[in-house]
Structure 1
């Protein structure tokens, strides 16, 4: 399972084998079934999660009980609730698998130690946080300013490989539109 992480980390930063082994040995590798929860709303996020294989989603539940998906995390991505993780406070969100997944987990104290001991990892972590911040701002702007058609077209353009892996109700929950609207948009697109 760790070879996927080895390939990922080597493509991002220059580290010797000993440093990579140090990072990998601090992680716990686990396999998860479809719809399995890693973090439940109200729990404290105590781990950074790297997805070696599979697909996770981060979501919250609205006052009306509807699911609102903030983020999908496929292979070679990280999943964490940053506010809960850094403040060690109860999470407002849930992290769960969409499909069978293999992940690596680092407990916060272990990952914090690695960030201090391996400057390149600390720099990569900062770059990932900055990239996430940019992507979240862009997504927020798209959500607030775009029509349902534009939101769907942006999703298709940005995540073409996820279309076949996600049920329609999850795509609708990510876009902030009803399943009925998404179905109408898809049918209109097919007719063009």
Structure 2
């Protein structure tokens, strides 16, 4: 898996030397997760910044009534963490769980900060990632507060077509903030119009 990891960083950080990539590899920990295995649990401190090289994770919160609220799905070549917990050493509001057998590279905060200091292009790249993620979150929030259930689902299909066959319907419904019954009705209505 380090070849995928290496290609990712070579594309993301032009001019990355073997020496600098070796440092990135040295500061990360390869973890193989089984389906349903948790890397960060709500209430614990999230100690890892996670790069997914293979598989699929989900970030979710469980409310007091036991309902799960999925914030995001994290597939290959993507990063995740609970940023508030990771950077502030506070209890996580999220659980991060593998939906498929997955391989991730995890970084602790000290090592990640050291890498950012020693590889300035990594720091720039992370800022760009954070900006893109912020825009994605803003767009999702706007869709969630201003769209019909049909529009929410169509937005999901357009932006995450690869997840339709990988994620159960009840999880897609949770991500979209609707019941499974509503999602099933929406899908039936859309199929009728196609």
What do residues 81-134 of structure 1 show as CA deviations (whole Å, max 9, x unaligned)?
111111110011110011110011111111111111110111111111111111
What do residues 67-89 of structure 1 show as CA deviations (whole Å, max 9, x unaligned)?
11011100000110111111110
Q: Residue 13 of structure 1 aligns with which residue?
A: 13
Superposed, 1:20-169 pairs within 5 Å as 20-169=21-170
Which range moves more in the overlay, 164-173 or 21-30? 21-30
Deviation at 1:21, TM superposition (A): 1.3
TM-score (norm 1): 0.97
Q: Residue 192 of structure 2 aligns with which residue?
A: 191
Deviation at 1:190, TM superposition (A): 2.1
TM-score (norm 2): 0.96
Q: Give ranges in structure 1 of 5+ residues lacking alignment.
A: none
Q: Residue 2 of structure 2 aligns with which residue?
A: 2
Q: Secondary structure in 2 aligned to 1:164?
A: coil
Deviation at 1:189, TM superposition (A): 2.0
CA distance in 1, matches of 2:76, 2:104: 9
CA distance in 2, matches of 1:117, 1:42: 32
CA distance in 2, matches of 1:16, 1:55: 29
Q: Residue 182 of structure 1 aligns with which residue?
A: 183
